[in-house]
Amino acid sequence: MIVVLNFKNILTEDSFPSMVGDKLNPREEKVLKIIHDNVLVPYYSIEFNLPTEIVDLREFIPLFVEIYEFLKNVMMFDNETTSHLFYLFVLNYNKEGEYKDIENVRVGLTYEEQMEMFGEKVMFLSEHFGTLPFLIDRMEYDTYGIPTYNITTIDETYAFGNQKQLDEAIKVYIDDRWYSEEDVFFTFGVETYLSYCSVSDTDKRIVSGEEANHYESDMFDEEIIDFLSHNGSRVNYELVKEYKEMEAEWGKLTSSEDGEQYKIRMSEIVEEGRENVREIIYDDTYNRLENDLSEYLEELGYVSGHRDAFKNLPPWVQFSWEEFNDDEFDNFEIWQLSPYENVDEAYLDNGDIYYIIQVDY
């Protein structure tokens, strides 16, 4: 309350700016002195070591904020007057706090000077958020690799980057989002998970060979012939035909006649048939591992009816993070980068598209 009363005579005067020539008018001198005594001196009260200048030094951003808020909230100037007085003070500051009869007063900075001082991005954000470039703080950290800025006047933080930076940020976000294959499995379900799985050529050969040997070794001779009669090529058909002919001829013999030659040939046919059965099972298994992995695993009981289905998957099932991440990238929505779902597109003077993404501080 006391501070406000001290400013009463200034607040009731005509609005700023009102400079004459290259000198400060009495009201401006008065305000700059008030800022010095009520902001600068308390700000450095611990050591009372005032800086020699406060222009274009990033370390003074907290001080810039205090000056701006003092003019805006305590002295209650409008935006235009606040900006004018802010620049007057920052550009004409002196350690001694003497603001009367200053020579070569600097009223402001040209756009080119500010571009050189702050860069194109800060200048764009300054215009976008309607604030002064002095009050935009380039954060020491990035957001998924995107340069990040705090707009101190509204206390909000934004990542500000181009398309290339955005694409890289999405990739980093996706990498951070998915910690393990199991996470993908239980989030999307077994069917989606297995759609990104495959079996290496080496493992396909091993698994197919083991499956063929296991299947064939459990078959009786008659089952071999029956299997070949329903599966396989013309060669297998001819083997089955010959086997049945041998069997029929052997059956016609009397008990006194020797049928050893038929028995031997039938055994040879079965052995040849076993090899053909292994080839058929091998090819079928290899093809299913390559083209119908999900159904194959379900048929063998790896992923159906088990609460611990993921843990039951065989080690030769390989998940492709590359394919999964590519699909996640293609389906990614930019707003996902913002906890506030607040994303704007911006066009810089050079035509580049940039994205303004609100993030946490």
Does 164 lie in the same domain as 262?
no
The yes-or-no verdict on residue 101 having pLDDT over 70 is: yes
* Positive or negative: CA dihedral 171, 173, 179, 180: negative
What angle, 0 to 180 degrees and rounded to 10, lies between the N-to-C axes of helices 321-330 and 163-177?
130
Does 8 lie in the same domain as 96?
yes
Does 100 lie in the same domain as 10?
yes
Which of 52-66, 137-151, 167-181 shows the lowest mean pLDDT across its residues? 52-66
Higher pLDDT, 286 or 12: 286
Question: Would strands 146-151 and 156-162 be described as parallel, antiparallel, or unpaired?
Answer: antiparallel
Does 6 lie in the same domain as 102?
yes
The yes-or-no verdict on residue 86 having pLDDT over 80 is: yes
Torsion angles phi and psi, residue 159, rounded to 5? -85, 140
Q: Which of 53-57, 81-85, 223-227, 345-349 has the highest mean pLDDT?
A: 81-85
Does 287 lie in the same domain as 232?
yes
Does 215 lie in the same domain as 124?
no
In a domain, 193, yes or no: no
pLDDT at residue 305 in the model: 58
In a domain, 340, yes or no: yes
End residue of a domain, out of 292, 319, 350: 292
Spatial CB neighbours of 82, under 8 Å, sequence gap ≥ 6:
68, 71, 72
* Domain containing residue 17: 2-108
Domains in the chain: how many in total? Answer: 3
Does 219 lie in the same domain as 261?
yes
Rounded to whole angstroms, the Cα distance separating 316 from 204 reads 8
In a domain, 194, yes or no: no
Q: What is the DSSP letter of 23?
A: B
What angle, 0 to 180 degrees and rounded to 10, lies between the N-to-C axes of helices 221-230 and 260-291?
60
In a domain, 306, yes or no: no
| Confidence bin at 16 (pLDDT 50/70/90) | low
| Confidence bin at 7 (pLDDT 50/70/90) | very low
The yes-or-no verdict on residue 207 having pLDDT over 90 is: yes
pLDDT at residue 108 in the model: 85
Does 214 lie in the same domain as 129?
no
In a domain, 191, yes or no: no
Rounded to whole angstroms, the Cα distance separating 238 from 228 reads 10
pLDDT at residue 3 in the model: 39
Listed residue (88, 169, 206, 107) closest to 335, CA to CA: 169
Higher pLDDT, 258 or 226: 226
In a domain, 314, yes or no: no
The yes-or-no verdict on residue 254 having pLDDT over 80 is: no
Residue 237, CA atoms < 13 Å, CB-side half-sphere: 4
| Confidence bin at 232 (pLDDT 50/70/90) | low
